[in-house]
Structure 1
Amino acid sequence: MTGSPFRPQLLCRLKSGARTSTTAVLSENLLADTLPHAAAAVTSAPNNHGVNFTDTKELFSSVSSAKMLRSLIMLCLASSAPVADIGIWVMKSKLMDIPLCRKAVFGVTERTFYRQFCAGEDLASASATARELWDTGRTAMLDYGLEHANDNESCDVNMEEFLRTIRSTKSGVESPISFGVVKITAICPVRILKRVSDLLRWQHKDKSLNLPWKLKSLPLLADSSPLYHTATRPAALTAAEERDLDAAYARMAKICRNSIDASLPILIDAEDTAIQPAIDYLAYAAAVEFSSGEEEPLIYNTIQGYLKDAKDRMVMAKKAADEMRVGLGIKLVRGAYMNSENRLAESLGVESPIHDNIHNTHRCYNECADFMLHQIARGSGSGSLVLATHNMESGKMAAAKAVDLGIDKDSNRLHFAQLYGMAEALSFGLRNSGFRVSKYLPYGPVDQIIPYLLRRAEENRGLLSASSFDRSLMRNELIRRVKSPPVHGKAMQMPTSEV
């Protein structure tokens, strides 16, 4: 396919990579071929990255005062715990059963938080927002806001929505869309993901367990992975369940083929540990089947750094991918299910799979970033990384490490990403330094996407409250603009239509 980074190939079965006793050995072996001068960890990287967060005039040069003021107000409101609590309570209350009240709530939400964090109701609106990002030197990760599916009919409908999104990006010119986002929970019934995860966990405990439906994949679980979800040997999948699983993989395969045709890599969203093994399985099985041996992978699976087994699973997957000559794409995030994961572990009387404190989470995230950056520095075909973070220190350290390792800032194999409407200072700082930066761009009808955003808000209560630095920089820039003398005798324009 001319101009495409992906090449379709005949479907094949590849032998899985051999396992070693510890992931520490794998990590050492994989890092042995990296650059000699790049042995230091991300956490010890010097601040010679050139990412400037002090010059707010340069940082926000492409943002109008009106838009910045609106963003500042919305972030302040969203970061308020009482505001978040009231919003969640209203959305779940019986008030939403009253048509007039429901209409009023949706109307207010659409003009405030929806406008701040979402790209619009349809593909046309999302594409327009993506073009605006493109004009400011950033790209978009298109994410159609779908909730979990419970039946095959819903899965088929959701697949078509993903396909519409992917096909809309197919163009003969350079596209403002960097990635498409796919939720496995939208194309495979959650009950099937739970059943498959149970069987995969039990097979990790008992290697003699035969799973006849299992395709070639990368390693899914480490010895440090949480296995307590499956206390007893699960029953084999029924014939109907196997058909449902086959149908889910067929949807995934169709999405992959369309993504190849559109030259658009796809990001796979992560979920909680109860169903994550099955999500990893479907993602990695597709990665193996549709690998072209090219430098840029088609599929980027998500690793959540707040999980204690994050680096172990990443190292194992990378080792196997190298042996199978499969390009490995990783999207690295901190994680979004801390409350529910901790509650479940506590209810079962077992150790939480989440790191005990935020410092350990930061350390794990930075170590995972360091590991993948070293892999990228090894050269062709050695991995690709999307660093999804709102944390200023992680962003600065990763940028410094990439420079230290000699990774081209404009490399297709390294992207930074933040949610749309958030962490603008980090996005602009990295962009100004020459790195590729994308914004995670959810879109969809207001009544459909609000439940999706509500679920995210409940699991990410600390995310918005951590935006104080971003808000401070915006506030400083607005004050600077007010105090600055007018340009060519014209006063600073703040049209109310944008606020």
Structure 2
Amino acid sequence: MEKIFENTEIAFALKSNSDLKKAHFLFSMMAKPAMVRLGTSLTNFSLKIGLPVKGLIKNTIFKQFCGGVTEDDCLPIINQLSEKGVMSLLDYSVEGKEDEEDFDNAMRKKIALIDFADSHNGIPFASLKPTALGRFALWQKVSEGKELSSAETAEWKRIENRFDAICKNAHDKNIPVLIDAEESWMQDAADRLTEEMMLRYNKENTIVYNTIQCYRWDRLEYTKHLQTLGKEKGIKVGAKIVRGAYMEKENERAEEMGYRSPICESKEATDVNFDKVLSYILDHLDTFSLFVGSHNESSTYLAMELMKERQIVQDHEKIWFGQLYGMSDQISYNLAFNKYNTVKLIPFGPVKEVIPYLIRRAEENTSVAGQTGRELTLIKAELRRRKL
């Protein structure tokens, strides 16, 4: 297959030389774990004692990975992406809330974002993080099948109601919603609730998507379970497949508590599992709609090859590809240029409250083998091309 991701002219068409040089500087810093740890510590300390660092953050790492403070701030980026055939998915990336008022506010925000997507071209999806709607500890307790107190039962019912309100609005507006996956010890409850929403709202169109973290060795079996559910209940199953984002935390907890880690034994095993899940879903498009959330070029090429082998057209309505804003532009823009359905996930929110998300982006770029180096190589190649 033609190596389309080498085309840096298409990949960076929206970036000026100045933008590329700033991105080069940022990724150079992320390539150094010691610098990331130092930057994280300094950022947290500066915010704690009230130093005026928000302006610096906003003009550097925030600008690279976020669309703005509000959804309206993101509109110029959404419009620019749309001109290149790349769609957008807005993600209000404020984390760590823990009380009922915050959970209700999160529900209202997600509903408002679905309405926003409905009224603006170029935003075909919404997203939802389950723990934005209720305490992590309660998700965990429900996952473990433990008996709830009367207060906890009422609290869980409120979570269910919030979840349902968001999915119902998504159904009414015909805006599919991607439900994030989180830590394995709370995920069973999230899976069950997401499946309930599929049974309720996926009868005619694929509205609710569950996320399948393929670094978990049990997720191929779970994918087969979803296919069986779809067939038996006559619903359309939405599946977003990713590798996963909690590997170190998962392995540490498993070792500490003495159970088998749910994570594949190696990066290679994760890649194999991802590709098996990908292939299985493409073999069952009568049941599934697929969102490939990946920055991995090999898996993306494999998806393209499998589509070609199965004579599935590039812009098939049931298949989408997605990457994070500020990363892997060589994948996003070249896919769109070649007529594949492509989405950029655009985080936004108040600078101070988005910082945990930004720190995680920096840490993940540092820890994912080859990710930062690939970004730097492509940026250098494009700057050389422009100079020539």
Mapped to 2, the partners of 1:256 and 1:369 lie a distance apart of 25
Query: How many Å apart are 1:125 and its aligned residue?
Result: 0.8
- For 1:479 and 1:260, the matched residues in 2 are separated by 48
Q: Which residue pairs with 1:84 in the alignment?
A: 36
Instruction: Give the alignment's TM-score, normalised by structure 2.
Output: 0.95
Distance across 2 between alignment mates of 1:342 and 1:283:
25
Residue of structure 2 in register with 1:191 after alignment: 137
Q: Which moved more, 1:347-356 or 1:136-145?
A: 347-356
Q: 1:451 to 1:56 in 2, by over 3 A?
A: closer
Bigger mean CA offset, 276-285 vs 455-464? 455-464
The amino acid that maps onto 2:110 is F
Please state how far the C-alpha of 1:332 moved relative to its aligned partner: 0.5
Report the Cα offset of residue 108 of structure 1.
Answer: 1.5
Could you tell me how far 1:140 is from its partner in structure 2? 0.8
Alignment deviations for residues 372-404 of structure 1 (CA, whole Å, 9 cap, x no partner): 11112xx4xx21111011111111111111111
Q: Secondary structure at the match of 1:453?
A: helix
* Deviation at residue 51 of structure 1 after TM alignment: 4.9
Q: Give CA deviations for 1:248-302 in whole Å, capped at 9, x if unaligned.
A: 11111111122123221111111111111111122111111122233xx101111
Match for residue 497 of structure 1?
none
* 1:107 maps to which of 44, 50, 55: 55
Deviation at residue 151 of structure 1 after TM alignment: 2.5
Q: CA deviation at 1:91?
A: 3.5
- In structure 2, the residue corresponding to 1:301 is in which secondary structure? strand
1:81-480 matches, within 5 Å, as: 81-93=33-45, 95-99=46-50, 101=51, 103-104=52-53, 106-171=54-119, 175-199=121-145, 234=146, 236-294=147-205, 297-376=206-285, 379=286, 382-455=287-360, 457-458=362-363, 461-463=366-368, 466-480=371-385
Contact kept? 1:78, 1:464, Cα under 8 Å: no
> Is the partner of 2:344 in helix, strand or coil?
strand
Query: Could you give the per-residue CA deviations for residues 23-57 of structure 1, whole angstroms, max 9, x where no partner exists?
Result: xxxxxxxxxxxxxxxxxxxxxxxx3xx45133433
The SS at the match of 1:471 is: helix
Aligned to 1:202: none
Distance 1:459 1:239, change over 3 A: farther
Residues 118-175 of structure 1 deviation map (CA, whole Å, 9 limit, x = unaligned): 010001112332122112210111100121432222110111111111111223x7x1
- What code does the residue aligned with 1:424 have? D
What is the aligned length? 388
Q: Structure 1 residues 84 and 363 mapped into 2: Cα distance closer, same or farther (>3 Å)? A: same
2:39, 2:288 → 1: CA distance? Answer: 41
CA contact (8 A) 1:369 1:398 kept: yes
Unaligned runs of 5+ in 2: none
- Partner in structure 1 of residue 6 of structure 2: 54
Partner Cα distance (1:64, 1:92) in 2: 31
What are the superposed Cα offsets for residues 173-223 of structure 1, whole Å, 9 maximum, x if unpaired?
A: 7x1112111111011222220110110xxxxxxxxxxxxxxxxxxxxxxxx
Task: Determine the structure 1 residue equivalent to 2:17.
Answer: 65
439 and 463 in structure 1: CA distance in 2 versus 1, 3 angstrom threshold? farther
Cα distance per residue 1:62-100 (max 9 Å; x no partner): 44333233222222222321221112222344x43222x
Are 1:80 and 1:465, in contact at CA under 8 Å, matched by a contact in 2? no
Q: Deviations over 1:437-483 (max 9, x none)?
A: 11111100001111233345456642385232232122112111112
Which has more radius of gyration?
1
Secondary structure at the aligned position of 1:131 is classed as helix
Q: TM-score, normalised by structure 1?
A: 0.74
Judging changes above 3 Å, is the alpha-carbon distance between structure 1 residues 337 and 148 closer, same or farther for their aligned structure 2 residues? same
Q: Secondary structure at the match of 2:182?
A: coil
**RMSD between aligned residues:** 1.8
Report the identity percentage.
29
* Separation of aligned partners in 2, 1:399 and 1:146: 34
Structure with bigger helix share is 2
- The residue type equivalent to 2:37 in the other structure is D
Rounded to whole Å, the distance in 2 between the matches of 1:342 and 1:475 is 36
